Amino acid sequence: MKATITAIGGFVPSSILSNEMISRMVETTGEWIVKRTGIKERRLAKDENQGTSDLACAAIENLFETYDIDRSEIDGLVLATATPDHLLTPTASKVCEKSGFTNAFGFDLNAACSGFLYALEMATTMIESGRYEKVVVVGADKMSSIVDYEDRNTCILFGDGAGAVLLEKTESEYGMMKSILRTDGSGTSALLVPAGGSKLPATAQTIADKKHFVNQEGAFVFKRAVESMSNVSRDVLASNELTVDDIDWVVPHQANLRIINAVSETLNIAAEKVKVNIDRYGNTTSATIPLCLWDFAADFKEGQNILITTFGAGFSWGATCLKWGVMRNLRNLQAIKTEKELEHDLVCS
């Protein structure tokens, strides 16, 4: 028994925060941002009442509008997010309710930027166990809710968005291969939101000190990301008895274009094989991998090998390989993205 991706959905808010707009907020220029990160714009959920659950639901709705799927057959939902609607209850509970998953359980998983990969691995093992047949895996984050737009080091990086895939059991050769996941807690202080959890609950002082926003040691994180993503990618290729030449596409975490390029060069993978959309969305944390799969779904062909690799706070990182399989029947041909700039302004009801 194997698990394979059979449907993909995605959502990004319609509101665009361009580099030119950021240059009016902090001391920077659009040219500098592009040179250092590769980002030209990012999407923001401007509605204060719109939380991560709404982004996740919109991505799921896009999935169901695109493919012929019966919601009642969904067994479970694994929601990767670092920005839950509330500390309690799980955001997945609200998503299950709003998405009509009446026969499914759901839970949140937080591994920061590696969250979707971790969630994909959890769902894969659930299906491989034989106890579940159809699991929806979502990566969604409203990073604008934890970004200080007076901090030049972080406000240029992040955007909001969500992506979703349907993972199903299969007895074919297609689907998920072996994964390798890693964690190193010694890097926690280099990338975190200091306050708001049980260690440092919210107080008037933590709010005044801006401890509820992302803090990052950029240079240190950059170095560890390149090293970790490169090494784990080599290891996962070896574990699946694959070489770089066997890989048709690479879908890396979209944190920084310089990181992506450095990893590609280290692995000796041609740039044209590497999928990149950070220029339009920025770093959407848990959503970067599924949004890439959504954006470029038309390029992936049956039987092709795809390498996925991530790195995030924690430090958390990992890699997996999958052999692209047969997608479900389409419900709406127009919902498949065939051009990079095609926008989806879905509203989660």
Q: What is the DSSP string of 225-236?
A: HHHHHHHHHHHH
- Per-residue pLDDT at 334: 56
* Chain segment 250-294, per-residue pLDDT in tens: 999 999 999 999 999 999 999 999 999 999 999 999 999 999 999
pLDDT band at residue 340 under the 50/70/90 scheme:
very low
- Per-residue pLDDT at 335: 53
Listed residue (151, 133, 123, 156) closest to 38, CA to CA = 156
Residues 6+ apart with CB under 8 A from 57: 95, 98, 99, 348, 349
**55 and 185 fall within a common domain:** no
For residue 180, give the H/E element and its range.
Answer: strand 175-183
Q: Angle CA(246)–CA(249)–CA(255) in degrees, nearest 5?
A: 130
Owning domain of residue 234: 178-323
**16 and 130 fall within a common domain:** yes
**222 and 122 fall within a common domain:** no
Query: Given 110, 240, 277, 283, which residue is catalytic?
Result: 283
Task: Give dist(CA 349, CA 343) in Å, integer.
Answer: 19
Question: Would you say residue 76 has pLDDT above 70?
Answer: yes
In a domain, 345, yes or no: no
- Per-residue pLDDT at 349: 38
- Per-residue pLDDT at 332: 66
**239 and 122 fall within a common domain:** no
- DSSP state for residue 143 in the 8-state scheme: G
Instruction: Tell me the pLDDT of the chain averaged across its residues.
Output: 95
Question: Would you say residue 339 has pLDDT above 90?
Answer: no
**Count of structural domains, the chain:** 2
- Per-residue pLDDT at 343: 46
**69 and 212 fall within a common domain:** no
Task: Give dist(CA 308, CA 70) in Å, integer.
Answer: 28
Strand 105-109 to 316-323 pairing: unpaired
**150 and 30 fall within a common domain:** yes
212 is catalytic: no
* Chain segment 210-236, per-residue pLDDT in tens: 999 999 999 999 999 999 999 999 999
For residue 98, give the H/E element and its range.
Answer: helix 91-99
Phi, psi of 298 (to 5 degrees): -65, -20
110 is catalytic: no
Question: Would you say residue 36 has pLDDT above 70?
Answer: yes
**53 and 102 fall within a common domain:** yes
Phi, psi of 310 (to 5 degrees): -140, 165
Average pLDDT, integer, range 23-52? 96
CATH number at residue 223: 3.40.47.10
* Chain segment 155-202, per-residue pLDDT in tens: 999 999 999 999 999 999 999 999 999 999 999 999 999 999 999 999
In a domain, 347, yes or no: no
Query: Given 57, 110, 231, 253, which residue is catalytic?
Result: 253
Per-residue tokens: 142: 């409203």
86 is catalytic: no
Question: Would you say residue 342 has pLDDT above 90?
Answer: no
- Per-residue pLDDT at 331: 87
